[in-house]
Chain A
Amino acid sequence: MRFGTSLGKVVMVCLVVSSSLLAQQKKRATVSGFVYDKSTGETLIGATVFFVGTRLGGTTNNNGYFVISDVPVGVDTLVVSYLGYDRFRESIRVGAVGGRLLRINLVPKAYRIGEVIVTADSLSMAERAFKRPVSTLELTQSQVNAIPKFIEPDLLRALESLPGITPISDFSSALYVRGGTPDQNLYLIDGAEIYEPEHAFGIFSTFNTDAIKRVMVSKGGFGAQYGDRLSSVIDVTELDGNRRKFEANANISLIAASATVQMPVWSFGSIAGSFRRTYIDQTYAKFIKDFPNYYFDDGNLTGKFQLDDRDNLTLNYFGSEDNLNYQFDKSSSQSPILSYSWGNNVASVRWDHIFGGKLLSTFLGSYSGFVSNFGLENLQAFNERNTISNYTLSESVRYYASNATTLRFGAAYQNVGITYGLSTSDGAINFDGPTRKYTGYAILSWQPDPLWDLEAGLRFEQFRSSATFTHVDPRVAIKYRLSETSSLKIATGIYHQYMDSVDRLFFASIWLPAGKYIDNSKATHFIFGYDKQLGNIFELEANAYYKSYSNIDIYNQNLSAQAVPSYYLQNGNPVYTSDQNVFLTGNGKSFGLELLLRKDEGAVTGWVGYALSRTEYVFPAINQGNMFIPRQDRTSVVNFVLNGDIGDIVSGKWNEPVRKSASSWLLGLNFIFTTGQPLTVPASVYFVNTLPAWDNYGSANQNLPNYQLYPGPIDNYRLPDYARLDLSITWKRDYGTWSLAPYLQIFNLGDRKNVWFIRYSSKNSNGEIVQDVKPVYMLPFLPSIGVTIKF
């Protein structure tokens, strides 16, 4: 019995010990928390969090939140790094922190008048590149503001300096992304969709860069969480606000003044607000006779509140407004008056809740509205009104199942109303297009081993208007580490779009939903990416892509002959309420290669980009059904951006760390070259009277009928190549608690005469039809000055 008892004890002890050891071996914990900027309390998006000596880690999401699962219990060293911040390195007792959220504050590494400068950190560039989705770029506020600007800092113009993103002209901030049209870009501001991201006439975008925290741009292959656009996503996150102290900055330029204010709200929140207004209506218009009475303003207000350890509430409002009033003859009360107002209003409420540490839920309710009114007074009855209103409710969930597996899923309901009204003395157009959209998505991210990163997603969409469209779109992205310094990325997916816009020169686009007469559009993306870290300085990114389109739309230039009346006024004049024949429909493809060499670290930063691309369309009703190159095609685009201290640039200290300095002279260069825009030009003339009774209109002497111009092959001619070099010089002076930065911006330093469009005219000159082509140039050498004050 004793033996038995002893044996029993030994067995018992062995069992206890072994089970305890097994338990310890199997016992793992989840580490989660937030990463903040210590100086402002702002959450940091995209910070890297990992345990030293392991592959256990992750990055912070849009809320600055991270989760690392399956961490063995015990003491380990956690490292948090973020571009431009001191590395956080601390031993933590894993297990002891189970269930408790870590709050990690990173200290900005270097200041230049309070502005964060990009410097090297402990995480390799290759690792950062690997973590980025394919064809995705991120820009911070300081990177956007460092690019030389056209009078006012402008987000969309800053994006034009990236390969694969091309502008239409100096007068437009609309973007063509990889051969796609501007209406194929999804613009999000704090999760809410925005349809007209430009101020009137398109010269400036509505995003005030002082209010921007981060911009994510996906040029293709984006995940299943995004939809309803064929080409790209531009996702703007605005500042939360400084949770530590009051902070403000103001900027005054030749045409506008802006101010941004951030402050804490008690101990649990913050507010950030910005406002910008142009004042040419109070200056130029007062003194220059024919100058239009015009201004725009925009602003935003964000409040972020930490309700408790697991709940965050974010309230956001963004608004913009344009007003134009132009009287052709200011001295005459009978003179025609052109009035044009235009504006966006976007409001959202977001509630983030953390369930247990591994499950993060985000609820978003948003409204996005756009209104434009155009009218002519004292001439003839002419009024145009265009509105869009979007109400969205969405819920998205991220579940960190393990360190290797993350599941994301969500659902959204959108109610979008579009109205367009035009009334003239000859009739009217009244279009009312209520739509509803139901979406759901699921994304599984899986890292089977440290070399592979796989993501598979499905997106369900149902769009209801005058017809119903239902699709399930697969999306797949694969990343593979070739070596410590290089990686391959592949992405493919199917994308559908249910809204198209009629783009107009100077005037607001008119959005129309898919329905009875307009089919939904479809694109399929194939993207192959390669990232390579070159030394510790440069990062090379190469992307090859192929994008096919089905049922894409082009505005029907001959709509006047093909519009179908819906009903008639009492006087018999027509009223059009249908979108029948507004668009011509066809197919197409874009393909190309992009190279980007970036230098994000050291005293001098910048990038060089090159894009080689081609877009082809086939539309049965255009070019007799033969292939043609659409107007957004640009064969070659070269970008060059350089920023840094002039002293460092001249002395060649490009790679040295940024020095803190009370006073510095900064230089910014931005160069862009693009192949010229395709254009259709007339190739021949023919002699047919416009009306049968107009005989001898063309030339009574020669008994010739009137002549008409007949275009040559579509878009067969190209305008001259576009090139432009911009320069900025800024003197920054730090006075301790406040700073001053006067700047000089020179747009188009070389005063290159880039052709915007042509004025074409022709005449019958003694029996020869002679054409006269006058180019209309874009912006010339244009210096502007301003000053930024921060305190």
Chain B
Amino acid sequence: MAVIALAGIIFSGCGQSGVNIDNAPYVPKIVVEGYLYCGETVGNIRLMKNFPIGSPVDTSTLYLTPSGNNVQATINGTSLSFDPATETYFSKQINVGYGQTYTLDVYAEVDGAKLHTTSTTTTPPKGFRIINRNMGSFGYNSPLMSLTFLPSPGTGFYAFSIVPDTATTANFIYNNVFRNNLDSAKVAKNLNNFKFNGAIESGINSYSATAFALPIRSDETWFYGKYTVVGYAGDSNFKDYVLTAPSVQEPDGNFHEPVLIFKGDGIGVFASAIADTATFTITR
């Protein structure tokens, strides 16, 4: 008996354990990508579905449409129209104001399930603007590249998209300070990762009378040529999405829920912002 028990112990103390997480339960959701910009009408709102991991993404069913999914979408009670060309929802009747509250309400059928979600955003107050919209031309890794902006009082979150107008293997900065062993094939493979960069200022003093300086760092510029910087003074929904949705994985591989401000069956982002644009050029 003791020998059998010992053998069992030794046996169970051996071997290799695999990890298979393919069977995580999928729950259909209404996915929202919607931003309201102060001073503009409502547009470019995407309603989509989510997909199980490991299944092909059928782009023909990705976007939720009034005809295919019985979508009914409103903002503050005003119905949104659907543009089949861009597969987005819009309303030219709603002019987005500063410091106003808007509630998105969506009904849709996804994968046979009748879903409903709502989300509310309050737009930032007036104030945000980029001061040096034409930042100028600089050599690579110049310490002088800096964008200055004035905040909106009460809005502490600012996000900046930094994207080159042209991003190819031909204008890639191979002699960069971070990864100078890259060849064109590696660059091509990860082109979008080099192309799309951004910077965040969170929690700053929005009542400061002086302008903020945002240095453009060399790890945000991987290509020679002209760049467009789009700055956003984001509301709390914007902040919660940007700071939590891409960071759901912990160092030990465990995942946690992001902060997505939806009631019901929605995920994604419904946020508001004041947007402004600047440009600069990296010269060879």
Q: Is the CB of B50 within 8 A of A685?
A: yes
Selecting from A36-44, A213-221, A707-715, the interface stretch reads A707-715
From 728 to 752 in chain A, residues with beta carbon under 8 angstroms from any chain B beta carbon are 748-752
**Contact between B16 and A562, CB atoms less than 8 A apart:** no
Establish whether residues A705 and B33, one from each chain, have CB atoms under 8 Å apart when the complex forms.
yes
B13 & A692 in contact (Cβ 8 Å cutoff) = no
> How long is the Cα–Cα vector from A684 to B15 in the complex, in angstroms?
31
| Closest A residue, CB atoms, query B203 | A574
Is the CB–CB distance between A762 and B253 below 8 Å? no
Q: Check B24 against A557 for contact (C-beta < 8 Å).
A: no
Let me know if A563 and B15 touch, CB within 8 A: no
Distance from B275 Cβ to chain A, minimum over Cβ atoms (Å) = 8
CB within 8 Å: A-B pair count: 243
Residues of chain A within 8 A of B18, CB atoms compared: 720, 775
CB distance from B37 to the nearest CB of A (A): 9
Q: Which of B240, B255, B268, B273 contacts A682 (CB 8 A)?
A: B255
Nearest CB to that of B215 among chain A residues?
A: A425
Interface residues of B in 204-255 (CB under 8 A from A): 204-205, 208, 210, 212-213, 228, 230, 232, 239-255
In this complex, what residue of B is CB-closest to A722? B17
Of A565, A640, A725, A760, the contact of B253 (CB 8 Å cutoff): A760
In Å, the complex CA distance between A640 and B21 comes to: 31
* Alpha-carbon separation in the docked complex, A571 to B213 (Å): 9
Selected from B27, B156, B250, the residue in CB contact (under 8 A) with A684 is B27
Q: Which of A563, A691, A753 has the most CB of B within 10 A?
A: A691
Is B13's CB under 8 angstroms from A753's CB?
no
- Shortest CB–CB separation between residue A406 and chain B, in angstroms? 43
Residue of A nearest to B260 (CB): A710
- Report which of A690, A720, A767, A771 forms a contact with B245, defined as CB distance below 8 A: A690
Residue tally, chain A, CB below 8 Å to B? 86
Closest B residue to A717 using CB positions:
B21
Residues of B within 8 A of A725 (CB): 9-10, 13
Chain A stretch 362-377: residues in CB contact (< 8 A) with chain B? none
Contact check, B267 vs A671: say whether CB atoms are below 8 A apart: no
Docked CA distance A758–B46 (Å): 33
- B10 surroundings in chain A (CB, below 8 A): 725, 749-750
Q: Is A560 an interface residue (CB 8 A)?
A: yes
Tell me if A139 is interfacial: C-beta within 8 Å of chain B: no
Find out whether the CB atom of A697 lies under 8 angstroms from the CB atom of B253: no
Is there an interface contact between B19 and A688, defined as CB atoms closer than 8 Å? Answer: no
Give the chain B neighbours of A712 by CB distance below 8 A: 24-27
Among the 9-residue stretches B56-64, B73-81, B92-100, B116-124, the one with 4 or more Cβ atoms under 8 Å from chain A is: B56-64
Check A681/B245 contact, CB under 8 A, given A565-B203, A686-B267: no
Residue of A with least CB distance to B31? A686
Q: Is the CB of B48 within 8 A of A683?
A: no
Of the candidates B13, B21, B156, B159, which one forms a contact with A565 in the assembled complex, judged by CB atoms under 8 Å apart?
B156
Question: Is residue A289 contacting chain B, with contact meaning CB distance below 8 A?
Answer: no
Choice from B62, B254, B268 contacting A680 with Cβ under 8 Å: B254
CB distance from A771 to the nearest CB of B (A): 5
Enumerate A594-649 residues with CB–CB distance to B below 8 Å.
622-623, 631, 640
Separation in Å of the B155 CB from the closest CB of chain A? 13
CB distance from A623 to the nearest CB of B (A): 7
Main SS of chain B's interface residues? mixed
- Asked if A671 contacts B9 (CB within 8 A), the reply is yes
CB-based nearest A residue for B243: A561
Which residues of A sit under 8 angstroms from B9, Cβ to Cβ? 640, 669, 671, 725
Return the chain A residue nearest B157 by Cβ: A561
Query: CA–CA, A682 to B246, complex, Å?
Result: 12
Q: Does A454 contact B (CB under 8 A)?
A: no
- Minimum Cβ distance to chain B for residue A581 (Å): 11
**Which residues does chain B contribute within 8 Å of A751, judged by CB atoms?**
14
Chain B residue nearest to A689 (CB atoms) is B33
Asked if B14 and A768 make an inter-chain contact with CB atoms under 8 angstroms apart, the answer reads no
- Complex alpha-carbon distance, A751 and B49, angstroms: 45
| Docked complex Cα distance between A426 and B214 (Å) | 11
B181 within 8 A of A: no
Q: Which residues of A contact B13 (CB under 8 A)?
A: 671, 723-725, 748-750, 752
Say yes or no: B29 contacts A686, CB within 8 Å: yes
Is A1 an interface position by the 8 A CB rule? Answer: no
A6 at the A/B interface (Cβ < 8 Å)?
A: no
A84 CA / B275 CA spacing, docked (Å): 79
Residue B258 at the A interface, CB < 8 A? yes
What are 23 inter-chain pairs, A to B, with CB distance below 8 A?
Answer: A558-B244, A561-B240, A563-B203, A680-B254, A682-B24, A682-B255, A684-B29, A685-B51, A686-B29, A690-B198, A692-B35, A693-B163, A694-B196, A697-B192, A710-B248, A711-B255, A716-B25, A720-B19, A751-B14, A753-B15, A759-B253, A768-B54, A775-B19
Q: Which residues of B contact A (CB under 8 A)?
A: 9-21, 24-27, 29, 31-33, 35, 46, 48-57, 59, 62, 156, 159, 161, 163, 192, 196, 198, 201-205, 208, 210, 212-213, 228, 230, 232, 239-259, 267-269, 273, 275
7 closest A-B pairs by beta carbon, nearest first, are A720-B17, A750-B14, A725-B13, A758-B253, A750-B13, A757-B252, A574-B203
